[in-house]
């Protein structure tokens, strides 16, 4: 079964979800990130996708205390995204308890650092984060678009040891209308050496089972859980199928 990775997006220390990456279309949820992490762990989750949306906007990690609190539970393998713009930021995130660092904007703007970190920390800890809008990679918390396409960055970093990539179709994110399935099937077929994580649009358990049927290996689920399209008991059943 495909590995299910729940998402916790943080603004001001609270769980939020954005629609299409728009900070002005924000929904805040009542459980704290730490409480949410505990509930995910109780459901059998092993890996957590933790995103510092404040950090993505500020170009530096802003919610490291939350990362430390969740990591201190000792229950989850955490992948962290948002605000990693320098080696110091990367070291702060890893020291605070993240097992994996997602590098997005920096991989586009300073690719030599991404290459260096892949070589030093390994492709199992440094994950490429590619957020796509109209075929181009978006940067700085989805606030601006680059001229690079997904193939440009994959081909650049594969020789450096890239193993994992989280690819988000921004047009699908938070919309609960299903993922960009064809995109992920195509990428998986053309780049068999990379583990792609499906991100954006998951609306139901059926979406997850269809991705599993198509051979996808990982999927991030966010709003569908918070809006009870996938309940925690249903999540536990899906994870048990893994």
Three-state DSSP at 125 gives coil
Element of type H or E holding 127: strand 126-133
Q: Is 134 a known active-site residue?
A: no
Which is catalytic among the residues 52, 131, 169, 207? Answer: 131
CA 89, CA 27: separation in Å to the nearest integer? Answer: 27
Question: Has 131 been annotated as catalytic?
Answer: yes
**Rounded Cα–Cα distance for residues 110 and 89 (Å):** 14
Cα gap 41→227, rounded to integer Å: 19
- Residues 9, 52, 207, 212: which is the catalytic one? 9
Q: Helix %, strand %, coil % for the chain, to 5?
A: 40, 30, 35
User: What is d(CA 69, CA 53) in angstroms, rounded to the nearest whole number?
Assistant: 17
Q: Which residues are catalytic?
A: 9, 131
């Amino acid at each position: 079964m495909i590995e299910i990775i729940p998402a916790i997006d943080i603004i001001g220390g609270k769980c939020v979800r954005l629609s299409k990456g728009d900070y002005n279309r924000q929904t805040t949820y009542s459980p704290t990130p730490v409480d949410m992490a505990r509930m995910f762990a109780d459901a059998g989750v092993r890996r957590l996708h933790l995103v510092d949306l404040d950090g993505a906007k500020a170009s530096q990690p802003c919610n490291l205390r939350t990362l430390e609190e969740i990591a201190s539970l000792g229950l989850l393998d955490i992948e962290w995204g948002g605000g990693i713009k320098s080696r110091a930021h990367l070291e702060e995130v890893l020291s605070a308890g993240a097992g994996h660092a997602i590098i997005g904007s920096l991989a586009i703007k300073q690719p030599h650092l991404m290459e260096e970190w892949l070589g030093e920390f390994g492709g199992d800890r440094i994950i490429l984060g590619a957020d796509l809008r109209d075929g181009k990679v978006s940067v700085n918390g989805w606030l601006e678009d680059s001229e690079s396409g997904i193939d440009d960055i994959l081909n650049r970093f594969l020789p450096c040891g890239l193993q994992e990539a989280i690819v988000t179709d921004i047009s699908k994110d938070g919309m609960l209308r299903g993922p960009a399935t064809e995109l992920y099937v195509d990428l998986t077929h053309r780049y068999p050496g990379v583990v792609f994580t499906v991100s954006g649009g998951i609306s139901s358990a059926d979406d997850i089972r269809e991705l599993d049927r198509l051979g996808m290996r990982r999927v991030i689920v966010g709003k569908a859980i918070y809006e009870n399209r996938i309940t925690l008991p249903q999540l536990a059943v899906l994870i048990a199928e893994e």
